Amino acid sequence: MLAPGLMISACGLLLLGMNNKYSLVVNRIRLLNEEKRKIFHQELIDEIDSNRLSNIELQISHLIERISLVRNAVFSYSLAVALFIVSSVLIGLTLSENTPGFDWLIVAFFYGGMFAVFMGIVFAAIEVWKGYRIVKIEISEIYKPVD
């Protein structure tokens, strides 16, 4: 009964971090869209503004990919919590009702929860990788590579 309870707490921490990241990515998309609107409302769009618009659109497309990865990670962690809760309830029922034979079901729900946590970590790792790519896009506008 201890392991599912610990995993529920661990997933809670992972969910907290992912929800924070979700908010940051959404805010970044909103800021970039606002900057894009301001450029469009100018009477004259010069080459610098045109390049910035291209950069903004590229960043937004990558951020949309990131937000879907964060969503998938949050879903995986939430599913894991649900599976760990079911596992805990089954352990409690087995102990209180003294009904053997549910061991395989308890283990199956626990392993299902562990697999969901693993998938959430995979999504989070991919999201971090893509986040680095977006920073490189932003920096490329300021610092041109030297050959």
95 domain-assigned? yes
Range of the domain at 27: 2-42+70-141
Check whether 101 has a pLDDT greater than 80: no
121 domain-assigned? yes
136 domain-assigned? yes
113 domain-assigned? yes
| The two three-digit tokens of residue 125, written as one number | 């790792």
84 domain-assigned? yes
65 domain-assigned? no
pLDDT of residue 70: 96
Q: Is-contact 63 138, C-beta < 8 A?
A: no
Q: Structurally, how many domains does the chain consist of? A: 1
The residue type of 119 is M
Q: Which of 79, 73, 55 is nearest to 140 (CA)?
A: 55
Q: Is-contact 130 73, C-beta < 8 A?
A: no
| 30 — pLDDT class (breaks 50, 70, 90) | very high
Check whether 72 has a pLDDT greater than 90: yes
- For the residues 111-121, what does the mean pLDDT come to? 97
Alpha-carbon span 100 to 79, nearest angstrom: 26
7 domain-assigned? yes
Alpha-carbon span 79 to 40, nearest angstrom: 42
130 domain-assigned? yes
